[in-house]
């Protein structure tokens, strides 16, 4: 099948299929005229990549997972380690996003949201200080 059909069956765009090939994750057979030919094994790889990306795995981890998937003598401990490392990274990102949401919620609570020009949200973006927070002390040498 051609790239468009393969992309449709795998649930990705043709552009992503080309990208995955360019970075060495996919190796379709090529005809004498240079056209790529995709079969079920390539569709399975594309679906695997799509599912891994939907779970937020970075491309380097997708590459590792794909290699482990292809290796029937793999140790599942390595797969589990990659998954748990990714869980930890996701939880760290989630905590950072929650902290950002709390900061923005606090700033919005201190904004009058009326016709006045003063705005603590814009002030914080300019100064890096939350409303009511003291300015940073000057350095020792006044530089």
The predicted-structure confidence for 28-56, as pLDDT tens digits, reads as follows: 999 999 889 999 999 999 999 999 999 99
Does some domain include residue 70? no
Structural domain contains residue 2: yes
Helix (H) / strand (E) element for 38: namely: none
Residue 142 has pLDDT above 90, yes or no: no
Longest dimension (CA), the chain: 72
Give a yes or no: residue 69 inside a domain.
no
Is residue 6's pLDDT more than 80?
yes
Please say whether the beta carbons of 37 and 30 come within 8 A.
yes
- Residue 4 sits in a domain whose CATH number is 1.10.1660.10
Range of the domain at 38: 1-56
Q: Is residue 86 part of a domain?
A: yes
Residue 64 belongs to some domain of the structure: no
49 and 86 in a single domain? The answer is no
Read off the pLDDT band of 136 (50, 70, 90).
low
For residue 142, give the 3-state DSSP assignment: coil
Residues whose CB is less than 8 angstroms from the CB of residue 90 and which lie 6 or more positions away in sequence, other chains included: 56
pLDDT at 137 over 90: no
Phi-psi region for residue 113, left (φ > 0), alpha (ψ -120 to 50) or beta? left
**In terms of DSSP bridges, do strands 36-37 and 29-30 run parallel, antiparallel, or are they unpaired?**
antiparallel
Instruction: Say if residue 79 is in the same domain as residue 117.
Output: yes
Number of domain units in the chain: 2
């Amino acid at each position: 099948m051609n790239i468009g059909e393969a992309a449709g069956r795998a649930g990705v765009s043709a552009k992503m299929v080309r990208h995955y090939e360019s970075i060495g994750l996919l190796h379709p057979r090529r005809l004498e005229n240079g056209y790529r030919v995709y079969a079920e094994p390539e569709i399975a790889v594309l679906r695997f990549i799509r599912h891994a990306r939907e779970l937020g795995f970075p491309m380097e981890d997708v590459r590792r997972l794909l290699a482990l998937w292809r290796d029937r003598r793999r140790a599942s401990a390595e797969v589990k380690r990659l998954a748990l490392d990714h869980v930890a990274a996701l939880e760290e990102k989630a905590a950072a996003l929650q902290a950002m949401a709390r900061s923005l919620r606090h700033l919005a609570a201190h904004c009058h949201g009326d016709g006045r020009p003063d705005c603590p949200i814009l002030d914080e973006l300019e100064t890096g200080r939350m409303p009511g927070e003291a300015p940073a002390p000057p350095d020792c040498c006044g530089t």
